[in-house]
Every structure is written in C-alpha cells, then in structure tokens.
Amino acid sequence: MKKILGEQRRALLLAHLKEASTPITGTALAKLANVSRQVVVNDMTLLKARNEPILATSQGYVYLQTEAASDYVERTIACRHTQAETEEELLTIVDYGVTVQNVTVEHGVYGEITANIHVSNRHEVQQFLQKLNDSNAAYLSALTNGTHLHVLRAQSEHALSQAIDALRQKGFLIEE
C-alpha cells in the first residue's frame, strides 16, 4: 500500500473519524494511511489547530458530532477518594447511564489540569483502567491527594441525579 501524503491523508483521517461511531486508535488510523502512529498524532494536532472538534481519549480519537444542547445535561462534581476506589467511582457513575467526560485537578504550580476520559459503560471503564495500569501512568488525582472534578453527561437529569446520589452514599462526593 502506498503512503498517503499531507492534506490528502488528513482529509482521509478526518472522514473516517466523522463516520465512526466509536473511538479509533492512532495505530488503526496509521495503518489506514500507511504511516507511523507519530504521523497520525501530528495530523490530529494540525486538525485540532484548524478547530476540528477532535478529542483524544483513552480509547482513541473521536470526532465530536454536534448535538443539540438540549439532548444532554451536564454537571461538574467534586470528588475525593483513594486510587484504589477509582474503579468503584467510575462504575457507579456509568451504571446509571452517565458518561464521565473528564477529570480535572487543581495543581499548585500548573493550575488546572484536565484529561479527557469519556467512559460511558463498564467495558470502557475497564479499558481505561487497564491502560493506566499497563502504562504505569499516575492518576491525576494523585497530585491532589484524591481530590478532583468530573464533568458528567447524561440524557436526563434523573440519571445524573441518581449517579450523584450514589456517589454521595459511598462518600465520594465533596459537598459544602
């Protein structure tokens, strides 16, 4: 297979992302274009610089489709728990049909640090945690003794409230 160059490659990658219903890994996109994964990472950076709504998640790249704002409800919550309780926290949230969009910590030197998670079900939670484990990456909340924020997204206020209540009952929620 011949290597696809420059703008033609970025157009191909963008088209595949727009058509995909699930995240696509950098490795899969690299095979598609017959280039290295690093070339794909650079292409994604260039596309993001052109304001393409591409998101890098732990499952791969996602093109953020425009959805009517009224289709979803979002809420930011503050949590605190140990690293060992991360799985329980995430599973509690997704079991109510709620997506964990990201995690944010407030660092003393760097300020606000946010990482996209985008987990919506048990399988995605397990994949995310497995990648953390396999890479020996530190949890962001390790920087703040377990204190962090999540943006949660759901199709109904009821689902969001149920997930938040469950977190409250488990003692993970920080409230005044």
Q: pLDDT exceeding 90 applies to what percent of the chain?
A: 59
Q: How far is the C-alpha of 31 from the C-alpha of 9, rounded, in Å?
A: 12
Q: How far is the C-alpha of 176 from the C-alpha of 161, rounded, in Å?
A: 17
Q: How far is the C-alpha of 117 from the C-alpha of 169, rounded, in Å?
A: 23
Tokens 């640090």 correspond to 113
Q: Where are the domains of the chain?
A: 6-63, 70-169
Q: pLDDT exceeding 70 applies to what percent of the chain?
A: 96
Rounded to the nearest integer, the mean pLDDT of the chain is 90
Q: Is the pLDDT at 68 greater than 80, yes or no?
A: no
Contact call for residues 45 and 104 (beta carbons, < 8 A): no
pLDDT band, residue 66 (cuts 50/70/90): low
At the top level of CATH, the class of 70-169 is alpha beta
11-20, 69-78, 157-166, range with the lowest pLDDT: 69-78
Paired with 115 in beta bridges are: 103
CATH fold group of domain 6-63: Arc Repressor Mutant, subunit A (1.10.10)
Phi, psi for residue 127 in degrees, rounded to 5? -60, -45
pLDDT tens profile 84-129: 999 999 999 999 999 999 999 988 888 889 988 999 999 999 999 9
Tokens of 44: 């994604």
pLDDT value, residue 56:
84
Q: Which spans in 79-119 are helix H? A: 86-94
pLDDT value, residue 57:
80
Q: 6-63 with 70-169: one CATH topology? A: no
Pairing of strands 73-80, 111-119: unpaired
pLDDT value, residue 70:
62
Residue closest to 99 by CA, chosen among 148, 60, 151? 151
pLDDT value, residue 67:
56
The amino acid occupying position 166 is: A
Pairing of strands 147-154, 73-80: antiparallel
Q: Is the pLDDT at 138 greater than 90, yes or no?
A: no
